[in-house]
Structure 1
Amino acid sequence: MSQTFLITSATGSQGGSTARELLHRGAKVHALVRDPSSAASKALQALGVALFKGDFFDLPAIRLALTGVSGVFLNTFPNFNEGEGEIQQAKNVVTAAKEAKTVTTIVVSTVFKAGEKSEIAASKPNFPFLNLYLHQKSGVEEVVKNAGFEHWTVLRPDWLDYNYLVPGYAIHFPEYRTEHILSTSYDPSFKKAHLDPVDVGKFAAAALLDPQKFDRHVLELGGELLTLEEVAKTLSKVAGVQVKVRYRTEEETRELVESNKMPVIEMQLWPREVSLDYDASELDQYGIKLGTLEDYLKREKERLLDTLGVPKV
């Protein structure tokens, strides 16, 4: 008899990948979605996913979606208006899952080195955006770890490849769509660990289907280490148009920080002050092959061309 799992944020890249991987492996999937009539929701439904209309604050809907469920994939959404908003999302799902009395496993996706980064950011007044962001991600992890489920796993993805596509690119690279330029305050030598969101789905599904193997594991998920110059080269190759990198001057960076027009610039300044080691070989034990940025962009070429405003041939 196949197991049934609940996927939150199912119409997103991570949730959708997890749902598809579980279906591929013979499981049944419930999805909590805000709009069952959306194209993304209908695409999941066409694959056999059972849709439940609701969000993280709709407890009756969450309870209904948890009917007969043995495991949950939790992917909360950042909330910058309320300091504990994202943590409350996790609490609501966990509370309903405990009430269901059928859930034994929960897999949560947060962000690379969430716990370590949160502690560091809290001590640095020059990173207010990251402090709030990481506090919530770390708090979500603690909710899951302390909930008392038989099995739990924490997935911590690093830089997800969809950040070079609509709509994610906009907050990180404002000139990318119109000028094909990746403007950045990263040091030119900085290498960032890239990850295909499909790989998050592979790990999440594996942890749900074999919870004993992944029990109480905290996995730092990152693949290729790439500089932005290497990224631009790959983008150019796949899209067929030249994408360039422009490094901001110190004055430009300072003005952006002081204006608070681009809070995520803190992510680009963070590596100047904090270095956290990452060893991708630690993931080898799980037997899951990670994709490359080039493979991801080829698979999503239509979206890439749309992002860059390139006519489709």
Structure 2
Amino acid sequence: MSSSRSTEGDQNHTSVAMFVLLGLSREKAVQLIFFPIFLGVYLVTLIWNLGLIILIRMDSHLHTPMYFFLSFLSIIDICYSSSTNPRMLSDFLKEEKMISFIACATQYFVASWMCLTECCLLAAMAYDRYVAIGRPLQYSAIMAPGLCQKMVTGAYVSGFLSSLAETIPCFHLYYCGPNIIPNFFCDITQIISLSCSNPFISHMILFLVAFLIGFGSFLVILLSYGFIVAAILKIYSLKGSAKAFNTCASHLVVVAIFYGTGLSVYMHPSSSHSEKQDKVLSVFYVILIPMLNPVIYSLRNKETKEALKRVIKRATHLLQ
């Protein structure tokens, strides 16, 4: 049974005890093909992000504000990916893809917390790049370790409280009938649509969080890059301009992918995308971005490549 009935007229407790996740495909053969592919993606995500965290901690040349933020971005990517991937992988091997009401709420809370924290952290990283390019002589004084720690703490606390504000009202709605989620994870917009009670307050909270955290962070990023462009235009040397732009190129790519995909997933009319298109975009946003972030920073950054060479050289020397 997927539901347990509450007493008549009592809407303080949900009548739906389980949700059904339809997953990426209903065909067993396709699911068995997907399993090794997404297992590989998840393992690469863990290895890349953990590797980047260890590299930053081990190499003193990377003990700068930018890499301090980047190490916490990798922690976010690990947690974000782990909130959905293990469940999706296990569902590929199951006939019935059931998830309990509490597990669904927990999954969404963690995923939302990490996603909102990433918004704030990307804004902090944009400000860091502005100070590095626009005010290089004051960089060390402005981006002191204390400020960086406060910015990271603020990002995590803001994400936590915002996710809590979204999750509690949504999962306190009355769910009396349909319990099928047409996705591979607990997407709050699809969950709210299953509610038998008025979801107005939940929709308003979602809008406010998206506006304050999502759009607010994006506005900080846009302003920071506006000042960065203004600072670069004042550099008369072409080589100097190229070097200044290169210091924020990786961050710009990550921001473009993160916000571009996020807007495609959540900011479109419900009729403009098919269910399959929504799933493809969700896979990219939820599964692939956490894997791409460390790859983008590693491949586009000479400092990380040089740091890796130093660590390998040091390890080789110790083994000899």
* Fold shared by both chains (TM-score > 0.5): no
TM-score under structure 1 normalisation?
0.27
Instruction: Write 1 or 2 for the structure with the bigger share of helix.
Output: 2
TM-score under structure 2 normalisation?
0.27
Instruction: Write 1 or 2 for the structure with the bigger share of strand.
Output: 1
Larger RCO: 1 or 2 (CA < 8 Å, sep 6+): 2
Bigger Rg, structure 1 or 2: 2
